Chains A and B, each alone.
Chain A
Amino acid sequence: MSLIERLDSLANAGTTPWHRASAIAKLGLATGLVLCVVLSRSLPLVVALHVLAWALVLSCRMPWRIVLAAATYPLFVSGLFVVATWGGPARAQLLLVLRPVTASLTVLWLIGTTPYPDLFAPVSRVLPRYLADGLFLTYRALFELLGRAERLWRALRMRGGSTGPPAQRLAVAGEGLATLVLFGFERSQRVYAAMLLRGHSGRVCGCRHWAEVGREDLWVLAAAILAGAAVARWGGRA
């Protein structure tokens, strides 16, 4: 199962209060946290928000492998920037490491606790129609194509597609991926036919309960208050 399938499954099957909180509240908190972290020059503030991001991710019962992946992946590019500032103040390098990891963990918490229709519905309100429809249709097609791609890859490896010179391997992989393109094309024809049958009015609609605020949103509010307190305490300090 790929990372995106795993996250989608976790978002739908999770039972923590974060999973039951409204999408709009979580989206607001995650956006606020990411913007604060990215724009802040204060190390104490970034450290405080980093701790908060870890608390969010660890409290939503995310598998540790996924958490580890989210915490280490951004380091590849930020590592290049650490090299560029090597020998400078440790504060600058710490910021370069903490900022991307904090943002990545925050986004992981958001996507791991919010099913995609709930997440995309408020976003699609502010996007142009063609883009919002594209977002929904891409995401819907993705899971079917991921399964197919996985089977294709396995078949290629079993039939020797992963041996031989790299150029040959890549060309064979290209031929395999072309079958995905053809499948995608045929699938789009079927999806369009289904959309017409269901009375497609020119817009794909998301679900409507993304803004249903409940008791669980108090947890989100508490996290937002903690983040706000950190900003008030350390926001002005460089």
Chain B
Amino acid sequence: MAHLHIPDGVLPLWLWGPAWAVAVLALVAVWRVQRDRPPRRVAYDGALGAVMLAAMAMEVPLGPVEYHLTLAGPIGVLLGPAGAFQAAFIASAVLALIGHGGLTLIGMNALLLGTAAALASPVYRVLARRRTAPVALAGATAAGHTASGLLWLLLVLAGARLRAADVGLDATAARLAVMASVAVPLVVLGVAAEATVALGMGHFIARVRPDLMPGAAPARRT
């Protein structure tokens, strides 16, 4: 659901303005955390950011709807919270340039996508102590996307309530219930789809390159 980007002009300034400010502050924090990272990581972060965007371009048919994946959870686990937030910001910026989301909403969309990605990393570390890597990856992805989906829902409902109040409409609760009845199933579908894909990814990476998973021993060079 983090991929259902909010376009320009539907949310009020006081919602997207502070979101931009928070996103910039988060980027400053990311810069402080990653100040000493090796230059090799820049290329890796860029490549995985591009994987995120390439996955978003693919349509997975799920019954009557075509779902676009984000891979925010697995990318968050592979890059860590800081690298993942940076990748989410860049992905949101590139998507805004092709009309998926808005320029003024890059901050908010980055926060939504970044929440899923950044939260998945610590959850994975907790789950990986008790579960296999693929299951931990799926669980972390589900946790990240649930948080991100709820945040999305909260923002959209808050924005809609404000817009309705702006024009002096009453019975906003009924209107919001109609909106929620459309949006909630999409959030649930998104979480389930992302977690299942993450499970498949986890199985493959754990078999082929287990050293890429966080906490794994580095691969021995031959």
Residues of chain A at the chain B interface (Cβ within 8 Å): 2-4, 7, 31, 34-35, 37-39, 69-70, 73-74, 76-78, 80-81, 83-89, 92, 95-96, 98-100, 102-104, 107-108, 110-111, 119, 128, 130-131, 133-142, 144-146, 148-149, 153, 162, 166-167, 169-182, 184-185, 187-189, 191-192, 195, 200, 202
Contact present for B10 and A171 (CB under 8 Å): no
Chain B residues with Cβ below 8 Å from A174 are 196-204
**Interface stretch (choices B86-94, B111-119, B122-130, B142-150):** B86-94
Residue pairs across A and B with Cβ atoms less than 8 A apart, 17 shown, are A2-B57, A4-B98, A7-B98, A38-B13, A78-B9, A98-B9, A99-B9, A135-B93, A142-B50, A149-B57, A170-B193, A173-B200, A174-B203, A175-B200, A177-B69, A181-B201, A185-B212
Q: Provide the bound-state CA to CA distance between A34 and B159, in Å.
A: 19
Is the CB–CB distance between A177 and B71 below 8 Å? yes
In the complex, chain B residues whose CB is within 8 Å of the CB of A103? 7-9, 102-104
Chain A residue numbers with a CB within 8 Å of B201 are 174-175, 177-178, 181
CA distance A77 to B202 in the complex (A): 32
Q: Are A74 and B7 in contact (CB under 8 A)?
A: yes
CA gap between A184 and B74 in the complex, in Å: 14
Asked if B205 and A182 sit within 8 Å, CB to CB, the answer is yes
Q: Are A191's CB and B47's CB within 8 A?
A: yes
Quick check: B208 and A81 within 8 Å, CB to CB? no
Known contacts A37-B8, A131-B89; A181 and B60 CB within 8 A of each other: no
In the complex with contacts A34-B8, A138-B94, A174-B201, A192-B51 CB distance below 8 A: no
Cross-chain contact A137 with B42 (CB below 8 angstroms): yes
Mask: chain B, 55-89; 1 = CB below 8 Å from A; 0 = not: 10110111100000101001000100000001101
Once bound together, how far apart are the Cα atoms of A162 and B86, in whole Å?
32
* In contact, B196 and A167 (Cβ under 8 angstroms): yes
Give Cα A2–Cα B46 distance, bound, in whole angstroms: 19
Given contacts A103-B9, A111-B98, A138-B50, whether A84 and B160 have CB atoms under 8 Å apart is yes
Interface on B for A, CB 8 Å cutoff?
Answer: 4-10, 13, 27-28, 31, 34, 39-40, 42-51, 53-55, 57-58, 60-63, 69, 71, 74, 78, 86-87, 89-91, 93-94, 96-100, 102-104, 156, 159-161, 163-164, 166-169, 172, 175-176, 178-179, 182-183, 193, 196-205, 208-209, 212
Q: Give complex CA distance A191, B74 in Å.
A: 22
State A219–B189 Cα separation when bound (angstroms): 47
A2 to B50, alpha carbons, bound, how many Å?
A: 14
Contact A89 B42 (CB under 8 A): no
Q: In whole angstroms, what is the CA distance A112 to B216 when docked?
A: 44
Closest Cβ of chain B to A44, distance in Å, is: 16
Judged by DSSP, the binding face of A is helix
A130:B197 contact, CB within 8 angstroms: no
Closest to A91 in B: B167
The distance from the CB of A43 to the nearest CB of chain B, in whole angstroms, is 13
Top 10 A-B residue pairs of the complex, sorted by shortest distance between their CB atoms: A174-B200, A99-B9, A137-B46, A84-B160, A74-B7, A103-B8, A178-B204, A141-B50, A100-B7, A184-B47
Could you say which residues of chain A place their CB within 8 Å of the CB of B4? 76-77
Q: In the complex, A84 Cα to B50 Cα: how many Å?
A: 35
**A213 CB, min distance to chain B CBs, angstroms:** 22
A186 to chain B, nearest CB (A): 9
Smallest distance from the beta carbon of A53 to chain B beta carbons, Å?
12
CA distance A95 to B91 in the complex (A): 28
Which residue of B47, B90, B102 contacts A187 across the interface (Cβ within 8 Å)?
A: B47
Alpha-carbon separation in the docked complex, A171 to B132 (Å) = 16
**Chain B residues positioned under 8 Å from A108 (CB to CB):** 99
Chain A, residue nearest B167 (CB) = A88
User: Distance in Å from the Cβ of B36 to the closest Cβ of chain A?
Assistant: 11
A100 and B34 contact, CB distance less than 8 A: no
